[in-house]
Structures are given as C-alpha cells and as structure tokens.
A and B are shown apart, each in its own frame.
Chain A
Amino acid sequence: MTRKSILFTLVALIALILVPLGQGNYIIYVLTSWLVFSIAAMGLNLTLGYAGQISLAQAAFMGIGAYIAALITLAGYHWVLGWLAAMGGTFVIGLLLGYPALRVQHHFLAFVTLAFNTLVFLVLRNEDWLTGGSHGLVGMPRPNFFGLSTGTNLEFYYFTLVLFVISGAIFYWIVNSPWGRAFKALRENPVRAESLGVDTRRITLLAFAIGSAFGGGAGAIMSPLVQFIEPGSFAFIHSLKILLMVVVGGAGFFFGPILGAAVVILLPEFLRFTEGYYLMIYASLVIVLMIYSPSGLIGAGQKLYARLRPGRETRKDMEKGAQL
C-alpha cells in the first residue's frame, strides 16, 4: 500500500465513523444496508472483476447466508456461529455449483447461476417447514458481544462497519496474495496464465466460491439488520442489482463495488422526486455508462484524470471485457 492509499483509507474510515452521528433512523438504516451490500458486491467483484466470470446468483447466496444465520440464531446459538456457518455453507455450495459450470464454456456460469437463483427462490418459498415459506422468518435477535449490545440502529451500524472492515481486509489480503495475482492473470489472459502453470479451472472455481462466501456473509448480517427475511428479498432481480453495483462502480477496482453499492442504493433516494420514472432514468444511465465507460465510474474517473494529466495509462482490460 502506498502512503497515499493508506491516508485515503484512514480518512474514509473516519468519515464512515462520523457519518451516522445525529442522523435519523432511516438514514442510518440506509447506510447500514449500503455496507452490507458493499460486502456482497465485493465478493462478486472477486468473481467478476478479478477472475472474469459472470455470476448472477449473488442474491441467492445472500439469501442462503441470511437463512442459515437466521435459523441458527433463532435456535438460540450466537450470531457469530451463524455468520461462520453462512460463509462456510455458501463457499461449499459455490464449489458444488461452479465445478460443473466451469468445466465447460465461459458463459455457462452465467446461465447456471441464473437458474440457481430462481431455484433457491423456489425452495425458500415452498419449504415452509424450514424457511417459513412466503411469510419468511421473523424476530432474529441482534447479537451481543462481551456485554456490548448491537440493539439500536446506530450500534448495529457500527457492528456492520466492523464486519465491513474485516471483509475489506480479507478481500485486500486475497487480492494481494499470489492467488490474487493468479485471478488477475486469469482475467487478462487465461491462455497465457494456463501456459505458466496456473490451474485456471481450479483458480476460477475458488474465486467464484470465495465470492459466493462473501455473499453468504453479507446475508448473515442482513438477518439481524432487518429482522425479517422473506424469499422476495433474494430473487433474481436482486442479483442483477448487485451485478450493477459492481459494474457501475468499476469491476476489478477495490473501491469500485463500494462506490457502486452507494450509487445503486442511494440514487433511488435522490431520484425519488422523479417518482415512477426513476428506474427508467436509472436504466438509461447504466446504458450510457456502458457505452462511454465500460470500466464503470472509477474507470471514467481515471479516464478523466488521465486526460487532465497526460502520460498515464488507464486500464484497458475491461474494455475488452470478461469473456462471457
């Protein structure tokens, strides 16, 4: 990490600590769900932005994580156990789902995950005995840590912030390990990577499974945050929403999905005055963004910066696009 990025991270952290102070419950709730979705989007960024695979089931993984955590906490165990089980469970499911899909052509993961998301939705809705069916599960307790409560919205925000920082640190660690180097190599030139001894099939599968586990972890936080989960919150459309977060922010950039999640969650609030038109405006903006800057807002920012300060290269790989 350069000194500049350490400084930036510190300032951002302080801002994140100060921002909810004095705000109403609703704003704090929106901020908290932004952090939760940032974690899920971070995971998808690993799959999409680093390993170059399209997954359309991140909401399903969130759902699985949310239900696992809910069932475990409702059974009286501590939330941390639920969180770990959620991440472990979604990691394993990611492996099982990704293995066959990644054995064959590139675009198949997109379709398999698409189908998977719908299947998960159906199971959540139909298996009343376990999931409460379309009524969902209610009353998940907010956890205590060594006497510290996370009961109020502000407390829960800080609790989520801690988990967000932990997730970010894990993500940063992975991306900067030799694994991360292999992920990037895979995205930029899979054939070359394979010829240098990178077992591309295994490494892609791992990227997908780890990305899924981030989704599961985010879901586990969702449970005590909303204290009411139902299948509709994890339907396919929400996977598209998370995909949008990653792409709008900038896939393959550390801060891309965090920015993207902010845009996707906060923009509707800003566009509220447009009433029914906001989704239309939103969709049009996405199309325009994809035409002018396929590497998202961060890519657009870099391009602008490069134009102001000539001589710097902007990234080109997302222009080529991940192989679907």
Chain B
Amino acid sequence: MSDSVLSVRNISKSFGGIHAVRDVSFDVEKGEVLGLIGPNGSGKSTLFNCVLGQLRPDRGEVQINGHRVGNMRASRLNKLGVGRTFQQLSVFPQMSVLDNIILAGQEHHGNMATRLFGPSDAGLTKEADQLIAFFRLEHLRDEMAGSLSYGQQKLVDAAMAFMAGPSLVLLDEPAGGVNLTMLGNLRERLETYNREHGTTFVVIEHNMEFVMSLCTRIIVLAEGAIIAEGTPDEIRSNQQVIDAYLGG
C-alpha cells in the first residue's frame, strides 16, 4: 500500500438514497496507466471526484503518495504532485499557449516574493518550450489558446497537466470530441511521456479503442461497484462487461 502512487480503500458515496459508489478499492502502482471505464451513471465521475478530493466519501479513504486526500483544496493536491485534465475545454483562452504552460508550472517554483520580483516567466520559458515541443505545438506557441482548434486546445490542456512534473496525472475523458488524427497523436504522446518519465496515469474515458490501446490495466465500474479488472485483452473478452455495456 505504501509504494502505490494512488490507493483507494473501501470508498462509498451516496447522494440522497442513490449509492453512486459502493465499497470500491484499488491501488495504482508507479508508472501504471490505469483505465477507469463504465456505462453512464456507473459512478466513474463520483469516484474520480473522490480521488481528487472534490467530494468527501461517506466511507473509506483515498491516499496519494501516502497523503490522505479528503476534501482537500485542488491547489494543495496539485502541490502534492497530482496533475489533471478536465472533461470540458479548460485552457485560458486569452493567454498565449506559452503563458498557459508557464502558468501550469510557476506556482511550483520559488515563493510569492520571487514570483512578484523575479523574472516575468518565472525562469520557465525553456522548460515550457520543451513541453510545447514534446506535444508538437511549437508553431502555436505565441497564439492565444482560445483561437486554437478544439483538438489543439485539448493538447494544451494535457500539456499543462504535465508542466509541474507530477507523479500522478488524472485524465478526464481526454479523447472526447477529438478527431481521429489528433487522437492518435495524443495517445502516442501520452504513451511516450509515460515511458520516458514513468508518470502514473489514471484515465476516465468513453472511447473504448483509446482506452484499450493506451492503458495497461482497466477497471470496469457498473452501478457503483467494480465488476471487472484486468488487462485490455481480458476486459475485451469478459462476458460481464459486455452485458453491462449492452444493458443486459
């Protein structure tokens, strides 16, 4: 338990009388890419929000790098080494791509005083440029993020999650609304990043193909509980999963 990056222990959460998540436990090891899938209303988002400290579970606890996460402010969580992306577009539209990326790193460098009196880029331009190059966004570096295409903004969004060198990145439907070419590019970049940096990913996704090709392990939720867990191949052939998705 102590060497896992993320540890979820017996989480339950209900709203009114509805049990959104029922006694869910799992661990994620360093460097793993875990997929979290399930039909609509299966409790994925509730679970995700419990992990992010946005919701306080009724029972159970979540630990990230050995720290207990419970109703923690998002900025604290981020300082603990957790990067995340959002389902809907979440760039800063009236800031350049470069500024978006620098912002994602600046709060991790220096202190309040150096951020006021120090250099305007917090000394991060080089690092930001590397990340921009990694996501192949060089030609868009000085464009306003809001003027980019949807897929490009998704890439910027993803890049921001990596800027502070997190140990765990939570990706909330990264493939949603992205076209096929861009999707391949995104998947390949995420894989490469994982390989080069050993960063742990947890991915929530509807796009089966994307999850199956990106993740090393997959957890399937239905009606708030884990119904299957295994490698993509195992999940693909699991009858219970097929039933859950086909509404059996």
Measured CB to CB, the residues of A under 8 A from B are 174, 176-179, 181-182, 184-185, 188-189, 191-200, 313, 315-317
B120 engages A178 (CB within 8 Å): yes
Query: Chain A's nearest CB lies how many Å from the CB of B108?
Result: 6
Binds A, one of B11-19, B31-39, B95-103: B95-103
**Does B181 sit within 8 A of A, measured CB to CB?**
no
Number of interface residues of B (CB under 8 A): 34
A185 engages B74 (CB within 8 Å): no
Contacts A178-B118, A181-B99, A192-B160 known; 4 new A-B pairs at CB < 8 A: A194-B75, A199-B107, A313-B147, A316-B146
Binds A, one of B60-68, B86-94, B129-137, B199-207: B86-94
**Does B194 sit within 8 A of A, measured CB to CB?**
no
Q: Which residues of B contact A200 (CB under 8 A)?
A: 75
**Does B45 sit within 8 A of A, measured CB to CB?**
no
Contact of B120 among A176, A195, A199 (CB under 8 A): A176
Q: Which residues of B contact A182 (CB under 8 A)?
A: 103, 106-107, 115
Can you list 5 pairs linking A and B with CB atoms under 8 Å apart? A181-B102, A182-B103, A188-B92, A192-B91, A313-B146
A197 engages B79 (CB within 8 Å): yes
Q: Which residues of A contact B178 (CB under 8 A)?
A: none
Q: Which residues of A contact B106 (CB under 8 A)?
A: 178, 181-182
Query: Chain B's nearest CB lies how many Å from the CB of A7?
Result: 21
**Does B73 sit within 8 A of A, measured CB to CB?**
yes
**Does B71 sit within 8 A of A, measured CB to CB?**
no
Which positions 125-163 of chain B face chain A at CB distance < 8 Å? 144, 146-147, 160, 163
Q: Nearest CB to that of B120 among chain A residues?
A: A176
Q: Which residues of A contact B144 (CB under 8 A)?
A: 313
Q: Nearest CB to that of B121 among chain A residues?
A: A178
Q: Nearest CB to that of B92 among chain A residues?
A: A188
Q: Which residues of B contact A199 (CB under 8 A)?
A: 73, 75, 107
B116 engages A188 (CB within 8 Å): no
**Does B190 sit within 8 A of A, measured CB to CB?**
no
Contact of B93 among A176, A179, A188 (CB under 8 A): A188
The number of inter-chain residue pairs (CB within 8 angstroms) is 91
A174 engages B116 (CB within 8 Å): yes
Contact of B75 among A188, A197, A313, A317 (CB under 8 A): A197
B94 engages A178 (CB within 8 Å): no
Q: Nearest CB to that of B78 among chain A residues?
A: A197
Query: Chain A's nearest CB lies how many Å from the CB of B39?
Result: 26
A184 engages B92 (CB within 8 Å): yes
Q: Which residues of B contact A195 (CB under 8 A)?
A: 74-75, 77-78, 84, 86
**Does B21 sit within 8 A of A, measured CB to CB?**
no
**Does B212 sit within 8 A of A, measured CB to CB?**
no
Which positions 45-86 of chain B face chain A at CB distance < 8 Å? 73-75, 77-79, 84, 86
**Does B104 sit within 8 A of A, measured CB to CB?**
yes
Q: Which residues of A contact B86 (CB under 8 A)?
A: 191-192, 195
> How distant is the Cα of A193 from the Cα of B117 in the complex, in angstroms?
21
* Residues A198 and B93 in contact in the complex (CB < 8 Å), given A177-B115, A177-B120, A178-B106: no
**Does B235 sit within 8 A of A, measured CB to CB?**
no
Q: Nearest CB to that of B99 among chain A residues?
A: A181
* Residues A184 and B75 in contact in the complex (CB < 8 Å), given A176-B120, A193-B103, A195-B84: no
**Does B164 sit within 8 A of A, measured CB to CB?**
yes
B164 engages A184 (CB within 8 Å): no
Query: Chain A's nearest CB lies how many Å from the CB of B163?
Result: 8
Q: Which residues of A contact B160 (CB under 8 A)?
A: 192, 196
Query: Chain B's nearest CB lies how many Å from the CB of A181?
Result: 5
A315 engages B94 (CB within 8 Å): yes
**Does B122 sit within 8 A of A, measured CB to CB?**
yes
> How distant is the Cα of A199 from the Cα of B104 in the complex, in angstroms?
12
Q: Which residues of A contact B107 (CB under 8 A)?
A: 182, 196-199
Query: Chain A's nearest CB lies how many Å from the CB of B90?
Result: 4
> How distant is the Cα of A170 from the Cα of B111 in the complex, in angstroms?
20
Which positions 162-217 of chain B face chain A at CB distance < 8 Å? 163-164
Q: Which residues of B contact A176 (CB under 8 A)?
A: 120
B103 engages A194 (CB within 8 Å): no
Query: Chain B's nearest CB lies how many Å from the CB of A173?
Result: 8
Q: Which residues of A contact B108 (CB under 8 A)?
A: 197
Q: Nearest CB to that of B110 among chain A residues?
A: A178
Q: Nearest CB to that of B106 among chain A residues?
A: A178
* Residues A185 and B75 in contact in the complex (CB < 8 Å), given A177-B115, A193-B103, A196-B103: no
Query: Chain B's nearest CB lies how many Å from the CB of A136?
Result: 36
Q: Which residues of B contact A177 (CB under 8 A)?
A: 115-118, 120
B90 engages A181 (CB within 8 Å): no
> How distant is the Cα of A196 from the Cα of B107 in the complex, in angstroms?
8
What are the 3 A-B residue pairs with the smallest beta carbon separation, nearest first? A197-B107, A178-B115, A197-B78
